């Protein structure tokens, strides 16, 4: 019998792969059993149901989005309500306003939130912290690398976690942003929760300290 191509049954989740820490996100999504794809072109962008924007360098990602003609198509998908998970530089890109950015860098306005690039300053520009996340039974280990600070959020943004009084994880409908790198902690709870909140995974047992390799609970 000739094998025929089978269309994926579930959603396809893209990870913007122009630059930065996209590989670890792809592997977490695969471990969760989610169809995932590295997104480098407008064609790939058109084929996905949700997008992770990874950490890296927001100015470079912005410049590459413009260069590749992807900025406006991405903005259109975001405006149409595509679920997005922005982490670190990805949070900066998702913001409605960037402080201390480059004059020519763009943001998507996916969430009413103002980010300040490299807001934790030079002396502590990388650190790790364990903190509580609303709805999780145990702390999350966050890795902050030249992280942005959440300067302010709109009224309808839900702050899900804070470190030293500063929001580090925020949600606005299907858009979640983290000022840290959740893909570097061997903990898939945030990816799973974002997908579940966006209706792309069965509602998750987020309270359990699951690792990526444990997969989606049945």
Residues catalogued as catalytic: 88, 181, 183
Say which residues have a Cβ less than 8 Å from residue 79's Cβ, sequence separation at least 6.
Answer: none
Candidates 41-49, 51-59, 185-193, 200-208 — which segment interacts with ligand GLN by CB under 6 A? 51-59
Asked if residue 157 lies in contact with residue 112, where contact means CB atoms within 8 angstroms, the answer is yes
Which run of H or of E encompasses 86? strand 84-87
CB of 187 to ligand GLN, least distance (A): 17
Give the CA distances from residue 34 to residues 22, 100, 216, in Å, rounded to whole numbers and listed in that order. Answer: 15, 36, 9
| Nearest to ligand GLN of 142, 174 (CB atom) | 142
How many helices and strands (H and E) does the chain possess?
Answer: 6, 12
Of 10, 46, 13, nearest to 28 by C-alpha is 13
| Nearest to ligand GLN of 96, 196 (CB atom) | 96
Tokens 């413009």 correspond to 66
Strand partners, 140: 131
CB of 128 to ligand GLN, least distance (A): 13
- Interacting residue with ligand GLN among 114, 129, 145, 205 (CB under 6 A): 145
Contact between 55 and ligand GLN by CB under 6 A: the answer reads: yes
CB of 146 to ligand GLN, least distance (A): 4
CB of 4 to ligand GLN, least distance (A): 41
| Nearest to ligand GLN of 15, 89 (CB atom) | 89
Contact between 157 and ligand GLN by CB under 6 A: the answer reads: no
Tokens of 3: 């094998």
Please give the residues from 81 up to 120 whose contact with ligand GLN meets the rule CB under 6 A: 88-89, 92, 117-118
Asked if residue 158 lies in contact with residue 169, where contact means CB atoms within 8 angstroms, the answer is no
Rounded to whole angstroms, how far apart are CA atoms 133 and 140?
Answer: 7
x-or-dash pattern for ligand GLN, window 187-206, by CB under 6 A? --------------------
Asked if residue 129 lies in contact with residue 162, where contact means CB atoms within 8 angstroms, the answer is no
- Interacting residue with ligand GLN among 56, 83, 167, 174 (CB under 6 A): 56
| Nearest to ligand GLN of 12, 58 (CB atom) | 58
Residues that bind ligand GLN (CB under 6 A): 55-58, 88-89, 92, 117-118, 145-146
């Amino acid at each position: 019998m000739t094998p025929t191509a089978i269309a994926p049954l579930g959603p396809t989740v893209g990870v913007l792969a122009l630059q930065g820490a996209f590989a670890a996100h792809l592997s977490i999504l695969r471990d969760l059993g989610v169809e995932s794809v590295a997104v480098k072109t407008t064609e790939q962008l058109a084929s996905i149901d949700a997008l992770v924007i990874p950490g890296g360098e927001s100015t470079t990602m912005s410049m590459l989005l413009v260069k590749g003609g992807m900025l406006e198509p991405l903005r259109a998908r975001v405006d149409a309500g595509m679920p997005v998970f922005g982490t670190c530089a990805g949070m900066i890109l998702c913001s409605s306003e960037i402080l201390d950015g480059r004059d020519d860098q763009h943001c998507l306005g996916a969430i009413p939130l103002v980010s300040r690039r490299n807001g934790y300053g030079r002396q502590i520009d990388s650190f790790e912290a364990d903190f509580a996340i609303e709805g999780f039974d145990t702390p999350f280990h966050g890795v902050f690398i030249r992280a942005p600070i959440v300067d302010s959020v709109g009224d309808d943004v839900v702050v899900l976690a804070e470190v030293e009084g500063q929001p580090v994880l925020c949600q606005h409908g299907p858009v979640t942003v983290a000022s840290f790198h959740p893909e570097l902690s061997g903990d898939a709870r945030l990816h799973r929760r974002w997908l579940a909140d966006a209706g792309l995974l069965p509602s998750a047992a987020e309270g359990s300290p699951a690792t990526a390799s444990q997969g989606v609970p049945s």
